[in-house]
Amino acid sequence: MYYYNIHDIIKVESDVILYELEYFTSKEFNNADLSIRTVDSLQGGLRFTRKIIEDRSNNSRKILYTEHFGSAGAQFSIDFGDRTKVVINKLISKSKHVLYVNLVEPLLRFLFISRGYILLHSACLDKNGSGLLMSAPPDTGKTTTVLKFVKNGFSFLSDDMTIIRLPNEALCFPKPMTISSHTFKTAVSVSNTSDTERSMRVRSLVHSKTGRAFMHKLAKLNVPIFTINTVGQSIIRPPKYGINSLLKNANIKSNTKVDNLYFLKREGNEFTELDTDSALDLAIENSDDAFIFPPYAELLKYISINGKSALELLEEEKKLLSSFLSGISCHMVKSETRGWFNMISEFTANST
């Protein structure tokens, strides 16, 4: 069994290793907020479509997700009781990345909201106690920019998701970073890996914006999308590396006070300040883009944490986020040439 204690806010136990949570590896504990268990198979035979079966007997809120192949395909159940319990079949357990991204992380988002925190799609860095966040759509070039900051003396907190605690504190969430073939070539060092530039090109393509867009389109069709995704990613693993595999001397910091949030956009060449409402819209858009992947949208109407629905929790998240953004400076940074590091560094230098 694997145990993960995320800043003493949420405790996760799993009989499958969750590489994205390895930083939070903990000693054994009781009463996990989220538990993951694996079984040989769940109920359900062959069918002609994806389906969620809801069970409200005995005052429970339990669902079973099943697809065309029944127990031969991807299946999982979620029990939204006092504690959230996930049961997966062995097929899903073979792709730890799919398990985490498609099941665990969306549930963590709602668990954090229920405790008054935000799991924000953003990178976070710190310099001399001053924190900055960067938010961008997938495959914009944020990770390369993060590495440039770390190489220039910034501490690392996160690259993909940051935990926000009001009024303006960021807590680290240092998951392995998804590396494109371009970043792979320009990274300082990648140790303990047999990856080649050619294999990185293949893996980067499969897990790129283009690959995800294809899967989104496929999900609109009547196909066993979760099974396809699980099998595919167990064969072609995501190009993920911990920050210290890329930059050996990188310093991971636990928390920081956030002063600025920068939204990166790959167009033009412009640096502008944003009002709170505009920043809120962009932050929500980028977060939704990160989370909404099959079967997330199909699960939304069934999610229930502490008696609150997903829509009620998302409304709470929006209020928390608005309060957080109103207390920091927000900026839009546009660069067709991905020159965000220089633009942000120059702005920071002129502001001090």
Asked whether residue 224 carries a pLDDT value surpassing 90, the answer given is: no
Which amino acid would we find at residue 117? Y
pLDDT category of residue 67 using cuts at 50, 70 and 90: confident
pLDDT category of residue 212 using cuts at 50, 70 and 90: low
Rounded to whole angstroms, the Cα distance separating 152 from 133 reads: 16
Nearest to 189 by CA among 252, 250, 254, 127: 250
| SS3 labels along 290-343 | HHCCCCHHHHHHHCEECCEEHHHHHHHHHHHHHHHHCCCEEEEEEECCCCHHHH
DSSP letter for each residue of 38-89? EES--S----SS-EEEEE-GGG--EEEEE-TTGGGS--EEEEESSSEEEEEE
Q: Residues of the chain with pLDDT > 90: what percent?
A: 60
Range from 111-125, 159-173, 272-286, 297-311 carrying the lowest mean pLDDT: 297-311
Helix (H) or strand (E) holding 134: strand 130-135
Range from 74-78, 193-197, 223-227, 333-337 carrying the lowest mean pLDDT: 193-197
Asked whether residue 202 carries a pLDDT value surpassing 90, the answer given is: no
pTM of the predicted model over 0.75: yes
